[in-house]
A and B are shown apart, each in its own frame.
Chain A
Amino acid sequence: MTSVVSATNLGLTFKTNDGDVVALSDVNLTIEKGEFVSFIGPSGCGKTTFLRTIADLERPTSGSLTINGQAPERARKDRAYGYVFQAPALYPWRTIEKNVALPLEIMGYTSAQQAERVKRTMDLVNLAGFEKKYPWQLSGGMQQRASIARALSFDADLLLMDEPFGALDEIVRDHLNSELLKLWDRTGKTICFVTHSIPEAVYLSTKIVVMSPRPGRVTDVIESDLPGERPLDIRETPEFLAIAARVRDGLRAGHSYEEAL
C-alpha cells in the first residue's frame, strides 16, 4: 500500500528581488494513512510551505513528492485533499450552508447530494442550526468550524490544516482541538496540521515533525505513544510532558536566536 504523502530530498527555493530564499531543503518524510501529523517550528521554517507544496499551491524546485503515489497536481485535480487555511476564508455573500456546498458545486455534485453532504458535515462540526446564517454573523470559532466542514464536505481522505486555530483565543482553541480529535477518530482521515503551539501539537498528533528555519528543514520526527483516547487533562501527565520536552529540545536545537527576526 502506498503512503499518503511521500517526500524525498524535497527542496523549494523562492526567487525574490533580494535574492534566493531557501524555503525547504532536503525534506524526507512519509505520512501513512490515518496518521495525525503536526508540523511545528518557528516562523519561516517552511512548515506552511511544505503544506502548500503538498496541496500543489507551490511547486518544489528539487526532489520528489507524491500524494497517494501520484504527482501533487494530479492529486489536486482528483480532489484528494481538503485544505483549511489560517483564516476561515468564507465567502461573505454566501450563507454558511452555501459556503460548505461551494466545493460540491464546483465538483459537480447534484443538489440532492449537496444537501445530504452539507447536512452531514454541518452535524459533524456541530454547526446544525446555523445553515442560513452569513459568515459575518458568526463568531471566529464558528467560522473556522464552518471552514473545516467545507474541507470535509467532499470526503477527501487527506485533510491539510494550516494553523487553523491560530487566530482564536485559548479557550475556544482547546474546545476545537478536542472536537477535532473526535472528528479524526470518527472519520479515520489522514491529517496534516501546522501549528506553532507545542501543547497543541503534542495533544493532537500521532507524529510530530519539528522544523527549523534558514533553510527550512526537518530536524526531528517524534512518534507519539499517547493513547488514542485523549481527554484535555492528559496535558498534565508525565508522558505528555516528556514528549513536549522533546519537541522543545528539538526546536531549541534547530533555532539560533541571534538570527531570529
Chain B
Amino acid sequence: MSQLQYFLALVAGGLATAALAYSFVTPFEQALLLKAFLALGCLSLIRFFVPLGLWVDGALALLGAVAVLTSIGAFVPPLPFFWMAVVVAWLFAWLFVERLSKSLAPRLSDNAGLGLLIPVVFGAALLVIWEVVTRGANVPPVLLPAPSAIGAQLANSAPILWADFVQTFIKSVLPGFAIGCLSGLVVAILVDRSPFLKAGLLPIGNFMSALPIIGIAPIMVMWFGFDWQSKAAVVVAMTFFPMLVNTVAGLNASSSIERDLMRTYAADYWQTLLKLRLPAAGPFIFNALKINSTLALIGAIVAEFFGTPVVGMGFRISTGVGRLAIDLVWAEIAVAAIAGSAFYGVIALIERGVTFWHPSVRGGRA
C-alpha cells in the first residue's frame, strides 16, 4: 500500500470506530443499517494484519452510500455520528478509486470497462453527498435542491421541458448552428484565396472570438423579434468566428511537402483543396464544431433572458429564478446539460468516423 492508501485506510477505519462508539447513545434498533456499516468499517482495520482486496473497499463504499441515504431522516437534526458515517463512506470510495487506479496504472490508455468505473464512482459519490447534505442539513431549496427533488420535477414537468427544448434547441440552436458554421466555413475558404483578406480578416476574427458576442442578444431581439429567429441570429454570430478562424488555420495545416506533391501533379486549386487541404483541415473544422456546439446552446439560452415568447429554456430559467421555483430551474438545467453533452457527443462521434486517421483519434504517434 502507498502512503496515501495507508493513511486513507487508517482514517476511515478509525473514524468508523469513533462513529460506532458515538452511535451507542441512540436506541439500538434505530438506523441499524448505518450502524452495521460502521461496524464493518471498524472491522476493516484488520487489513493491517490480513490484506483486504480492493473490492472490499468498493463494497463498503456502496454499503455506506445506501446506509446514509436510507437513514437521512432517522435523526432530526442529524447527530454528529451521521456526518462521520458520510465521511467514512466517502473515504472508502476514495480508497477504492485510489487502489483501482493504481492497479490499472500500467494500462494508462485503458478507458473502457474498469477505467470507466472510476469516474462513475466519483459522479455517484458526488450525487450521494449532494443528496445527503441538502436533505440532511436542510439546505434551503432556493440555494440548492436535492437531486431527488430535481429528478421528481424532471418527471413531473416533462411536457413543459419538452416544449422548452423544442423552442430553444430545435428551433434556435440547430438552424443557428448550421448557418453559422456553414457560413464560417465558406467565408474561410473564400478568404483563404486572398492573402490580403486573410491578413485583414484573421486578426479581426481572432479578436471577435475573444469578445463577449453574447452581448448582441438584446440587439438581435430588437431586430428579429421575440421568437426563435433572434436567438438563431445570436447563435449564428457566436459560431461564425470560431469556425472562420479554425478553418483558415486548418487550410494551412497541410505540410509543404504535401503541397509540393500536388504541385508536381500540376493539380489545380480545387483539386488541391478537395483532395488535400480540406481533409487536412478536418480536425480543425471538427474542433470548431465542438466549441460551437457548447457556444450555440449558451447563446440561445442567454439570448432568451432578453425577451421570449412564454416558452424556451432560457425563459423558464429566468422566470423560474424570479418565482423561486428552483427545482424547475434545475430540471431545466439538467435538460440543457443532457442536450449539450449529447450534441457534443454526436459531433465527437462523427469526428471519430471522419478523422479516424488523425493521431489524436487513433491514439498513435504523428
User: Which A residues form the contact surface with B (CB < 8 A)?
Assistant: 52, 55-57, 76-77, 79, 81-83, 85-87, 89, 91-93, 102-103, 105-107, 134, 136
Contact = CB atoms under 8 A, between A and B. Distances in A.
Most chain-A Cβ atoms within 10 A of its Cβ — which of B261, B271, B275, B282? B261
Given A85-B261, A89-B257, A136-B364, A105 B357 contact: no
Interface in B90-137: none
A101 to B, nearest CB: 11
B264 A89 contact: no
Most chain-A Cβ atoms within 10 A of its Cβ — which of B265, B267, B356? B265
B355 A93 contact: yes
A61 B282 CA distance: 38
Interface in B234-291: 255, 257-258, 260-267, 271, 275-276, 279-280, 282
B257 A103 contact: no
Contacts of A106: 262, 265, 267, 271, 275
A83 B258 contact: no
B352 to A, nearest CB: 13
Contact of B362 (A56, A82, A87, A136): A136
Contact of B275 (A57, A81, A102): A102
Instruction: Tell me if A's interface is mostly helix, strand, loop or mixed.
Output: loop
B172 to A, nearest CB: 34
B171 interface: no
A52 B261 CA distance: 11
Interface residues of B, number: 24
A65 to B, nearest CB: 16
A136 to B, nearest CB: 6
Interface of B: 255, 257-258, 260-267, 271, 275-276, 279-280, 282, 355-359, 362, 364
A76 B263 contact: yes
A83 B275 contact: no
A136 B255 CA distance: 16
Contacts of A79: 265-266
B257 A87 contact: yes
Nearest to B282: A93
Contacts of B255: 89
A57 B264 contact: yes
Contacts of A57: 260, 263-264
Contacts of B357: 92-93, 134, 136
Given A86-B257, A136-B362, A91 B266 contact: no
Contacts of B262: 106
A89 B358 contact: no
Contacts of B279: 91, 93
Given A86-B257, A93-B282, A136-B357, A105 B275 contact: yes
B354 to A, nearest CB: 8
Nearest to A52: B260
A85 B260 contact: yes
B275 A92 contact: no
B358 A92 contact: yes
A56 B364 CA distance: 35
A212 B188 CA distance: 44
A55 B264 contact: yes
Contacts of A85: 257, 260-261
A57 B256 CA distance: 11
Contacts of B265: 79, 102-103, 106-107
B185 to A, nearest CB: 18
B258 A89 contact: yes
Nearest to A95: B357
Nearest to A134: B357
Nearest to A154: B265
Contact of B264 (A83, A92, A93, A136): A83
Contacts of B258: 89, 91
A108 to B, nearest CB: 10
